[in-house]
Each structure stands twice: as C-alpha cells, then as structure tokens.
C-alpha cells in the first residue's frame, strides 16, 4: 500500500458510498482512461470479468472461434468457454514471449481456407512485456477481426510511446493483489468506443432496464467494482510510476549480477518499448548452466525463496485438451519457455538484502 489509501476509504465511509457505484468508481474510471489516453473505462470485479464483458460486447457465442495467446494464465481463455465458443491457441514469439505474428498469420490463413474467421483475437502482454502490436494490429485489421488486449500484467508499459492496453478494440487490466497496483481484487475494461463501454456498464450491473421496477431484457452480470476498492485503486494509481521504477530497478539488479552467467537468458525488452518488469523472468539452458530449472526451483525453495515456473501453455492444459494450436515454427516456443523459464521474486517492496539473498542462492546453485 502507498499509505494514501485510507484517505479514500474514509471518504467512502463518511459519505456512505459503500455499494458498487459512487464517486471513487467514477473517478477511478476517468483517471485510468486519462492515463491510457482512451475515451472511456468501466471498473469491474476482476480482469477476467473484463474479458468476459469484451467477448459479450463482440457477440461471441456458441460455435464461434477466438484466437488466444497460449503462454498465459488460464483467466485469459476461460471467458471464451463461458460464451460457449472455441479457443484456438497461438504460440509465442521468441523475442517478445508474447503472441507470435508468424503463428497468428498461419492461423488466419487457415481460418480463411476453412471459411470460419475468429470473432476476436485475445493478445496477452506477458509479465509486463508488450506483444509486437504493430504486426498484430496490422494482421487483425487485414482480416477485420477485433483485438482484445489482455494487459492485466502490463499497466505502465509502453509500446512505441503508446500505453499498453490502448491498442485493441478493448483493453483489459487486473488489480488483483499480485499486480503492479492493486485494489485487492478488481479490473478495468477500456475502449475508445464510448457506446460500447456504456453497454458494458449496463451488463456489469445485472443489465437492469430503465424501468420503475426491476426488469431485465438481457443477460447481465454482477461485475461492478465497489466504491471502497475503487478508492484504493485511485491511491495506487497515484504511485504507479514509482512502482514501475522499482520493478525495473529490481530487474536491473538481477541482470547486472546474473546476466553474464552462461546459460541464463533474461526476458528481453523489445526495441522502442518500456516494460513495467512486473516480474523478472529468465530461462535456464541446462547444457550451459549445468542444472535444469526444476533443480534451481528446488534449491530456492529449500532456502525459503519462492520462485515459479513460467506459465504452462494453455494448449497443454487438460481443460483445453484437443484445442487447435498454431506453433511459431516447427518447434513450439511457448513449450520451450515453459520447460526452461523461471520467475524470480520481484515484489515492489523487496529489500536489497532480500534480493541479494536470492542472487547469492542462484550463484551458489550454479557453483559460482
């Protein structure tokens, strides 16, 4: 917490705005939209809810197909199943680790041959790193398919000076407890289409018709963010740049201390972009380092240091067994990253002492 959250929480209590509407909600939406340079935003209960609303607004339904990044958390794709649609997974690009434009183009060409284009493309900006948005936007425009930009992990990231989450028809953000700023739980759907955001706000509030009684003509959801949590979000947004600076400093320290070790390769930052470095992530080449990533994980765990493997690709998940998958090339980049990747402790409140302990443990494990 920044220390300023209590001020906004007290305002909510003093004015009795406790429900999922109120001044903090309105202002949080306006402040996020202004920060991103988009026309409007709607605050919701989670990033997952925001994706679900985006798919609903695009009229994704049973029998439809949606292209989705495979190297991501399951929440990016679950809403596709909520709508009864079919997810089709797209491999990672080796430079960005995000959706491969090369694999996406293959998927589009095949869809054209089959006569069934996707209703949407969900592009994920993984670990704070932007996807290659120029190439992806160009392809989606060519085939006239809207983009849902899952920027849950990349608030504060820029791609060619433009904020992450502002490229697609819809942008998605998460304010879960582990994100770069948090409302404890919450999310945001953003768009330049003001009318669409107006409809999203309607759907998120149980789709109540404008009548003098409770009347419902459309299926709605209980997805609105509370005024109290929106107040927390406003205080957090005030120190977003400080959080990005701290995460980038943590990355730089790791890179300076470990970047020259044979077999360790840090997630790159695309040219003309600025990653928020939400997590510091690297891959371990066992042939050069001498140990596999699973052994390094175990050594860190024995020292009470929590690290995690890179996301298990969704096309390998039992939930999505049988789903179509388009690899970058003959080899699957996302599977390589999963088999060799590790996420290091990267919290904004991480002390130098704690980070030194992680670095020392890694060096010792590699006999350095």
Residue-level pLDDT at 147 = 98
pLDDT at 3: 81
Using alpha carbons, list the distances in angstroms from residue 349 to 1, 155, 229, 248: 10, 18, 21, 13
Contacts of 177 (CB under 8 A, 6+ apart): 184, 185
Say whether 179 is catalytic: yes
* Angstrom distance (rounded) from CA 368 to CA 288: 13
Largest CA distance in the chain: 73
pLDDT of residue 4: 83
Determine the Cα–Cα distance for residues 255 and 159; give it in Å rounded to an integer. Answer: 22
CATH number of the domain at 5-239, please?
3.40.640.10
Q: Convert the pLDDT of each residue in 185-227 to its tens digit.
A: 999 999 999 999 999 999 999 999 999 999 999 999 999 999 9
What local confidence, expressed as pLDDT, does residue 2 receive?
80
- Residues 6 or more apart in contact with residue 181 via CB below 8 angstroms: 155, 175, 233, 236, 237, 239, 240, 243
Q: Are 24 and 54 in contact (CB under 8 A)?
A: no
- φ and ψ of 74, to 5 deg: -60, -25
pLDDT at site 167: 97
Helices (H), ranges, 37-132: 47-57, 78-82, 101-114
- Identify the pLDDT of residue 105: 98
- Paired tokens of 289: 């380092």
Give 330: exposed, middle or buried? Use CB within 10 Å, 0-12, 13-18, 19+: exposed
For residue 188, the model assigns a pLDDT of 97
Q: Taking the domain 241-365, which CATH number applies?
A: 3.90.1150.10
Please list the helix, strand and coil fractions of the chain in percent, rounded to the nearest 5, in that order: 40, 15, 40
Q: In a structure prediction context, what are the per-residue pLDDT tens digits for the chain, which is 368 residues long?
A: 888 888 888 888 888 888 788 899 999 999 999 999 999 999 999 999 999 999 999 999 999 999 999 999 999 999 999 999 999 999 999 999 999 999 999 999 999 999 999 999 999 999 999 999 999 999 999 999 999 999 999 999 999 999 999 999 999 999 998 999 999 999 999 999 999 999 999 999 999 999 999 999 999 999 999 999 999 999 999 999 999 999 999 999 999 999 999 999 999 999 999 999 999 999 999 999 989 999 999 999 999 999 999 999 999 999 999 999 999 998 899 999 999 999 999 999 999 999 999 999 999 999 86
Q: Which residue in 65, 132, 169, 179 is the catalytic one?
A: 179
**Statement: the pTM of the whole predicted model exceeds 0.75:** yes
Domain ranges of the chain: 5-239, 241-365
């Amino acid at each position: 917490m920044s220390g300023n959250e209590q001020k906004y929480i007290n305002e909510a209590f003093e004015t009795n705005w406790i429900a999922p509407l109120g001044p903090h909600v309105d202002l949080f939406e306006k402040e996020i939209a202004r920060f991103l340079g988009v026309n409007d935003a709607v605050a919701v209960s989670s990033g997952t809810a925001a994706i679900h609303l985006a798919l609903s607004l695009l009229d994704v339904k049973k029998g439809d197909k949606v292209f989705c990044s495979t190297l991501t958390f399951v929440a990016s794709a679950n809403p596709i199943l909520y709508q009864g649609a079919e997810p089709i997974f797209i491999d990672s690009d080796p430079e960005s680790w995000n959706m491969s434009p090369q694999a996406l183009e293959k998927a589009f060409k095949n869809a054209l041959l089959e006569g069934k284009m996707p209703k949407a493309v969900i592009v994920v900006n993984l670990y704070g790193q932007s996807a290659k948005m120029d190439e992806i936007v160009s392809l989606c425009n060519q085939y006239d398919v809207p983009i849902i930009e899952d920027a849950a992990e990349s608030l504060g990231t820029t791609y060619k000076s433009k904020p992450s989450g502002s490229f697609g028809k819809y942008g998605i953000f998460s304010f879960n407890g582990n994100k770069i700023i948090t409302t404890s739980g919450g999310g945001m759907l953003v768009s330049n289409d003001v009318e669409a955001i107006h409809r999203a706000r309607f759907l998120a509030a149980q789709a109540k018709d404008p009548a003098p009684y409770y009347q419902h003509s459309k299926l709605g959801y209980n997805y609105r963010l509370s005024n109290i949590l929106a107040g927390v979000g406003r205080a957090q947004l005030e120190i977003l740049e400080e959080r990005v600076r701290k995460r980038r400093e943590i990355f730089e320290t790791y890179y300076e201390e470990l970047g020259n070790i044979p077999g360790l390769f840090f997630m790159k930052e695309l040219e003309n972009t600025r990653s928020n470095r939400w997590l510091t992530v690297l891959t371990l080449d066992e042939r050069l380092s001498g140990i596999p990533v699973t052994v390094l994980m175990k050594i860190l765990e024995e020292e009470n240091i929590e690290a995690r493997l890179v996301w298990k690709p969704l096309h390998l998940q039992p939930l999505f067994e049988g789903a179509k998958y388009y690899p970058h090339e003959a080899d699957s980049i996302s599977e390589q990253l999963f088999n060799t990747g590790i996420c290091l402790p990267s919290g904004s409140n991480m002390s130098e002492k704690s980070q030194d302990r992680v670095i020392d443990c890694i060096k010792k494990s590699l006999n350095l």
